[in-house]
């Protein structure tokens, strides 16, 4: 079945960049939406960004617009989340996810990775 493996989290100073990756395998993802979610300590899991694999349309939650960029590499079957100007409130476990369907705005996903920790210090 679908496998999603995140990497590239870590500790970063406020204002700095980080670029987690999500390696996707198990099938062709041309008809899928790929997403990033995050879960901060004591908080529920929250949507961050999504990309339509075919065509590359994107959608972001308001708190990361202008700072984060989601992208995908078709040849490598990898999704990236470029995070710039990081803030302490961005600290969370970041999860890669996938869903079959056309909508960037439906946040019910079918497949999930294990997560990668992102910690932003101030």
For residues 110 and 87, give the distance between their C-alpha atoms in angstroms, rounded to a whole number: 29
Task: Provide the pLDDT confidence category of residue 107 given band limits of 50, 70 and 90.
Answer: very high
pLDDT for 3 equals: 97
pLDDT for 25 equals: 97
- 23-35 in b/e form (b: 16+ CB < 10 A) is ebeeeebeebbbb
For residues 19 and 38, give the distance between their C-alpha atoms in angstroms, rounded to a whole number: 14
DSSP string for residues in 34-76: EEEEEE-TTS--EEEEEEETTT--EEE-GGGTTTEEEEEETTT
Mean pLDDT of 23-44: 96
pLDDT for 71 equals: 98
- Per DSSP bridges, beta strands 21-25 and 78-83 are antiparallel
Mean pLDDT of 79-101: 97
């Amino acid at each position: 079945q679908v496998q999603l493996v995140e990497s590239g989290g870590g500790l970063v100073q406020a204002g700095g960049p980080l670029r987690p990756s999500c390696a996707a395998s198990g099938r062709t993802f041309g008809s899928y939406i790929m997403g990033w979610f995050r879960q901060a300590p004591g908080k529920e899991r929250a949507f961050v960004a999504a990309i339509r694999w075919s065509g590359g349309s994107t959608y972001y939650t308001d708190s990361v617009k202008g700072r984060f960029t989601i992208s995908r590499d078709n040849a490598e079957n990898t999704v990236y989340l470029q995070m710039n100007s990081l803030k302490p409130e961005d600290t969370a476990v970041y999860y890669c996810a996938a869903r079959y369907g056309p909508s960037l705005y439906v946040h019910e996903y079918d497949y999930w990775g294990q997560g990668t920790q992102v910690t932003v210090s101030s």
